[in-house]
């Protein structure tokens, strides 16, 4: 596979599937039975994020292994937490202001503190271990960050302490048994407790581990000496996979379709990672693609609060929200951009502030934790 800082196909697809999830929530959570039922399987788009998260986790582990500098599990957890926390925190604060204060009129310090006693676990990204108590997160889409952090930590521990047994036995067995267990879970909502974790975390475990096979397949594809015609054919197949997945997300809502889409997305991710698709060179001409990949997380994390505000506004005015989709899209983009640049500024201020405070707070002999 080609070594590169960013995979442009993955960046573009992140942006695409973030909007699939946005419109799933738009038509299902806000409009419900009052409007047309589009994107009824749009939540399948989350599987793309889980697959790529798993694939990049395994790639990171292998790169560190080659350099003989594999991070210890607590170091991995620290790095991932610091990577996700600023984005989750700023999105959470935005949601508190929008939903809890402006929409629900919770302004009493005591009431806010009472809510905070439960919200703190969402802020710390651990609530999807079951501490959510079968309830949705305040910022509904943020459950994936908690699930990916928890699952990523467990996978890293397995790789660090017993890579061979994990990859060749425990992981494939967990996938075989896991999907059978999932089929018999009566309620498939992400927040539901299933005896040892939540459905969402269990779902993340399955998809992120499939990410390992995406890497294996991508490595195999990268070794195939394809001609120009072969690369074109592979690209057509890749596009066809995404077209079918988008059709299923638009029109189908069953677990079997969800698993089929997961399988097909895994194949598409493997093709994108292999570097054999014609899409990579084409996308390299568009400088905006990396930025779309970066902002996709902000679209995903902030859209639900914008959605609820829009829903209540048009409900109060007695108008169906589906008649104002262009305005909704513009608002989601605007708040995503605001979230993106504010989070970048927040991280920059934190780094510069810590650089100034550290010499005053720590002695020269202090170790880096």
Residue 272 confidence (pLDDT): 96
Question: How many CB atoms lie under 10 A from the CB of residue 133?
Answer: 10
Whole-number Å distance between alpha carbons of 102 and 153: 36
Residue 17 has pLDDT above 60, yes or no: yes
Task: Give the integer Cα–Cα distance in Å for 12 and 269.
Answer: 12
Question: How do residues 299-350 score in pLDDT, each as one tens digit?
Answer: 999 999 999 998 888 888 888 788 889 999 999 999 999 999 999 999 999 9
Which CA distances in Å does 294 have to 8, 17, 54, 147, 186? 11, 13, 18, 20, 36
First CA to last CA distance, the chain: 34
Show the beta-strand stretches assigned E in the chain.
none
Mean pLDDT, range 221-227, rounded to an integer: 94
Picking from 29, 18, 67, 75, the residue whose alpha carbon sits closest to that of residue 302 is 18
pLDDT for 33 equals 46
Least confident of 47-56, 184-193, 253-262: 184-193
Per-residue confidence at 263, pLDDT binned at 50, 70, 90? Answer: very high
- What contacts 311, CB < 8 A, 6 or more positions away? 30, 321
Nearest CA-CA partner of 325 in 41, 26, 21: 26
For residue 190, pLDDT beyond 50: yes
Q: Please check whether residue 193 is in contact with residue 187, taking contact to mean a CB–CB distance below 8 angstroms.
A: no
Answer for the pair 3, 59: CB distance below 8 angstroms, yes or no.
no
pLDDT at 3 over 50: no
Asked whether residue 150 carries a pLDDT value surpassing 80, the answer given is yes
Q: Which residue has the higher pLDDT, 1 or 246?
A: 246
Nearest Cα to Cα of residue 134 among 192, 80, 173: 192
Q: What is the pTM of this model?
A: 0.93
3-class secondary-structure state, position 67: coil
Overall average pLDDT of the 237-257 stretch: 96
pLDDT tens digit sequence for 24-83: 999 875 544 455 578 999 999 999 999 999 999 999 999 999 999 999 999 999 999 999
What is the Cα–Cα distance from 310 to 325, expressed in whole angstroms? 10
What does pLDDT average to over the chain? Answer: 92
| Look-up of token digits 């442009």 | 8
**How many alpha carbons lie under 13 Å from residue 162 in its C-beta half-sphere?**
7
């Amino acid at each position: 596979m080609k070594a590169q800082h960013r995979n442009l196909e993955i960046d573009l697809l992140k942006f695409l599937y973030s909007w699939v999830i946005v419109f799933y929530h738009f038509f299902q959570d806000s409009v419900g039975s009052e409007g047309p039922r589009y994107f009824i399987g749009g939540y399948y788009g989350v599987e793309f994020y889980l697959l790529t998260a798993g694939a990049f986790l395994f790639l990171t582990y292998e790169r560190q292994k080659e350099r003989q500098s594999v991070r210890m599990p607590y170091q991995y957890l620290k790095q991932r937490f610091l990577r996700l926390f600023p984005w989750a925190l700023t999105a959470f604060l935005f949601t508190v202001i929008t939903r809890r204060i402006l929409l629900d009129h919770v302004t009493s310090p005591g009431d806010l503190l009472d809510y905070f006693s439960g919200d703190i676990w969402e802020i710390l990204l651990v609530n999807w271990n079951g501490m959510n108590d079968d309830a949705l997160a305040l910022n509904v889409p943020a459950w994936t960050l908690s699930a990916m952090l928890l699952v990523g930590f467990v996978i890293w521990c397995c790789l660090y302490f017993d890579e061979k047994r994990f990859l060749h036995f425990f992981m494939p067995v967990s996938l075989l048994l896991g999907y059978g267990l999932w089929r018999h879970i009566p309620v498939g909502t992400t927040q539901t407790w299933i005896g040892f974790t939540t459905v969402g975390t269990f779902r993340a475990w399955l998809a992120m581990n499939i990410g390992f096979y995406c890497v294996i397949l991508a490595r195999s594809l990268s070794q195939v000496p394809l001609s120009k015609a072969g690369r074109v054919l592979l690209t057509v197949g890749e596009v066809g996979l995404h077209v079918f997945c988008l059709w299923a997300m638009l029109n189908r809502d069953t677990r079997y379709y969800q698993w089929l889409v997961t399988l097909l997305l895994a194949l598409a991710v493997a093709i994108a990672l292999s570097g054999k698709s014609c899409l990579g060179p084409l996308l390299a001409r568009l400088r905006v693609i990396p930025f779309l990949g970066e902002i996709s997380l902000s679209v995903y994390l902030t859209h639900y609060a914008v959605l609820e505000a829009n829903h209540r506004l048009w409900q109060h005015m007695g108008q169906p929200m589906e008649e104002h989709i262009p305005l909704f899209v513009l608002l989601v983009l605007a708040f995503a951009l605001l979230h993106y640049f504010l989070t970048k500024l927040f991280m920059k201020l934190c780094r510069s502030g810590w650089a100034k405070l550290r010499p005053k707070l720590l002695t020269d002999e202090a170790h880096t934790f």
